Amino acid sequence: MQAEPEERPAAGGNRFGSGSRQSPRSPLAADSRYAARPLRARGLAIGIDIGGTKVAAGVVDPYGTIVASARRETPGQDPRAVERVIVDLVQELGRGRRIRSVGIGAAGWMDLDNGTVLFSPHLAWRNEPLRANLEKALRRRVTVLNDADAAAWAEWRFGAGRGEPRLVLITLGTGIGGAMIMGGVLERGRHGVAGEFGHQIIVPNGHRCECGNRGCWEQYASGNALGREARELAYANSPVAQTLLQEVNGDIDAITGAVVTHLALRGDPVCRELIDDVGQWLGLGLANLGAALDPGTFVIGGGLGAAGQLLIDPARRAFERNLTGRGFRPAATITSAALGPDAGLVGAADLSRIRYRPLLGRAYGTAPSGRFSERR
């Protein structure tokens, strides 16, 4: 039996306490028992997390532990090339192991019934029958789902969100992904496309986004945004960018959010300032989500989440400053993801063992409700 989750400290100082939770008598609180009980799904599963720059894979046991892992660079925009990489990873990791199932987490909107990627903002998938293609190549059961859903599930089952009946996960990487677990179920909305928080327009007529709009949140609070701001400093030949340039041997195009985060964790003041700026944008977007969704906890994950408190602290300050009704309402806890960048593949593996049970109607685009819970 997993340990019961510890009570998290309050994140702020309003009179309700920013870490306040629902009463234990709330009917939703009972659903948190899912996250604490031992899994009944047995066997090893392979989880694969497909990002804009990397494909990460791992063999995951029923308790969320990665027992073997591998990764590759994402091979450009060619859907067939991405599928070949997935097949290679599954074959490599499955060698000598009894694998029960494979779960694929990818950014975008999914038709879960058919295992089709309807649209992916960072990959050239448009109505792509990913599950059918992979099951044919691998000759084993494959589950296809949104990568942020997978990460949220993992954090709720095994990580920072255990015991939280209303959780919102924000993943910060190439863009911003998001997912909600409400009352113990993954919530995808009426048409199965909820959770695309990174594409809320936060600056009208702002930076152009890959989705086609301008001013999306992910253009200001993602790993890509952090790298872009650092490169602008370097291109301007700013004297404060010298450490950045030394780190990449003068190749400005090699400056990424990961490079900035690495230097910030080493104490570079300019990189810390850049992360502080991104954190403030993050907090502003969280305040919008807090006003709309009123979760108990925001879990911040993804590659940029490695910045830890350098990112969380300014985000929390901006959240509390911009939250509507601040000082007169409970506010969500904001915490770093416990599973780091592995959450997506852990959740994808775990969910591949579970047969989704639609609560109402059909899934992802045709259902009166896009909500799903576990079925063993």
54-60 vs 44-50, strand pairing mode: antiparallel
In this prediction, residue 151 carries a pLDDT of 92
In this prediction, residue 255 carries a pLDDT of 97
140-188 pLDDT tens trace: 989 999 888 999 999 999 999 998 999 999 999 888 989 999 988 889 8
In this prediction, residue 51 carries a pLDDT of 80
Helices (H), the chain: 33-36, 79-94, 130-138, 147-158, 223-235, 242-247, 257-265, 269-293, 309-322, 343-353
Q: Residue 69's closest CA among 86, 88, 85, 46?
A: 46
Of 190 and 241, the structure prediction assigns the larger pLDDT to: 241
In this prediction, residue 373 carries a pLDDT of 43
Its sign, for the CA torsion 191, 193, 197, 199, is: negative
21-32 pLDDT tens trace: 333 222 223 233
In this prediction, residue 327 carries a pLDDT of 87
In this prediction, residue 41 carries a pLDDT of 56
Q: Is 212 exposed, middle or buried (0-12, 13-18, 19+ CB in 10 A)?
A: exposed
In this prediction, residue 228 carries a pLDDT of 97
Please tell me the pTM assigned to this model: 0.78
- When pLDDT is cut at 50, 70 and 90, the band that residue 99 belongs to is very high
Distance of CA 97 to the CA centre of its chain: 28
DSSP string, 139-190: -S-EEEEEHHHHHHHHHHHHSTTTT-SEEEEEEESSSEEEEEEETTEEE--T
In this prediction, residue 20 carries a pLDDT of 35
Could you report how far apart the first and last alpha carbons of the chain are, in Å?
Answer: 17
As a whole-number percent, the residues of the chain with pLDDT over 70 amount to 83
In this prediction, residue 4 carries a pLDDT of 36
In this prediction, residue 267 carries a pLDDT of 96
pLDDT over 60 at 364, yes or no: no
Q: Residue 176's closest CA among 202, 154, 142?
A: 202
Contact (Cβ atoms closer than 8 angstroms) between residue 175 and residue 214: no
348-359 pLDDT tens trace: 999 998 854 333
In this prediction, residue 125 carries a pLDDT of 86
Q: Is 37 exposed, middle or buried (0-12, 13-18, 19+ CB in 10 A)?
A: exposed
The average pLDDT across 289-314 equals 95
The average pLDDT across 216-222 equals 97
In this prediction, residue 200 carries a pLDDT of 95
23-32, 116-125, 210-219, 289-298: which range is least confident on average? Answer: 23-32
The average pLDDT across 297-320 equals 95
106-153 pLDDT tens trace: 887 888 878 888 888 777 789 999 999 999 999 998 999 988 899 999
